[in-house]
Amino acid sequence: WLRLWNLTWFWFDESFILFVAYFSTMSAKLSALHSDSYVEVSQYRDQHFKGNRKEQEKLLNQSNTLYVGNLSFYTTEEQVHELFSKSGDVKRIIIGLDKVKKTACGFCFVEYYARGDAEHAMRFINGTRLDDRIIRTDWDAGFKEGRQYGRGKSGGQVRDEYRQDYDPARGGYGKLAQQHPPVESRNTY
């Protein structure tokens, strides 16, 4: 068996404790116990990414930036900053905008100084509420100019083009449903 030294530094506010895991002759690493599923990269891949899949994976795995979705259109940068600062120092926030109206359209990017802080956000802020809505975070390859705009035909996000439900915090009905309102009654015979 190879001798594997694992050195992990943990920062405990201002103090640090050096953790040294064992020679593998002493005890196993037990991958079963080191599950960290909230930090895993999701299946989503930005189709507009400029570069090959391998580069994209690399950037996602070392990214300090999170995409945040399902925001209310009315959620402000200040609110996002307050919430996401709970997992560490936030470097910048870019609020997603409707391409046409240039108003908030329900998503944003949060960039941290340290990846570890972004990981904590994935573990503890993802799936909790902001402005009474369950928000979703995902790794992002990194902000580039232009990515702050929605890619839906109407200018907002794609998901708001096609959804059928009524969401007052996201412009009401989906854009398609607004143009072609659903039929009043559906009788099944």
Q: How far is the CB of 52 from another protein (least distance, A)?
A: 19
Q: Which residue has the tokens 């609020």?
A: 95
The C-alpha atoms of residue 179 and residue 189 are separated, in whole angstroms, by 28
Q: How far is the CB of 129 from another protein (least distance, A)?
A: 5
Nearer of residues 75 and 154 to another protein, judged by Cβ: 75
Nearer of residues 40 and 55 to another protein, judged by Cβ: 40
Nearer of residues 43 and 185 to another protein, judged by Cβ: 43
Q: How far is the CB of 124 from another protein (least distance, A)?
A: 4
Nearer of residues 42 and 178 to another protein, judged by Cβ: 42
The C-alpha atoms of residue 52 and residue 55 are separated, in whole angstroms, by 5
Nearer of residues 45 and 129 to another protein, judged by Cβ: 129
Q: How far is the CB of 152 from another protein (least distance, A)?
A: 23
Contact 169, 133 (CB under 8 A): yes
The C-alpha atoms of residue 59 and residue 137 are separated, in whole angstroms, by 16
Which residues contact another protein (rule: CB under 8 A)? Answer: 2, 4, 6, 12-20, 22, 24-40, 42-43, 76-79, 81-83, 86-87, 89, 92-95, 120, 123-125, 127-132
Among candidates 3, 36, 5, 34, which has minimal Cα distance to 18? 5
Phi, psi angles (nearest 5°) of residue 149: -100, 145
Other CB atoms within 10 Å distance of the CB of residue 9: 8
Residues 6 or more apart in contact with residue 158 via CB below 8 angstroms:
150, 151, 152
Q: How far is the CB of 61 from another protein (least distance, A)?
A: 9
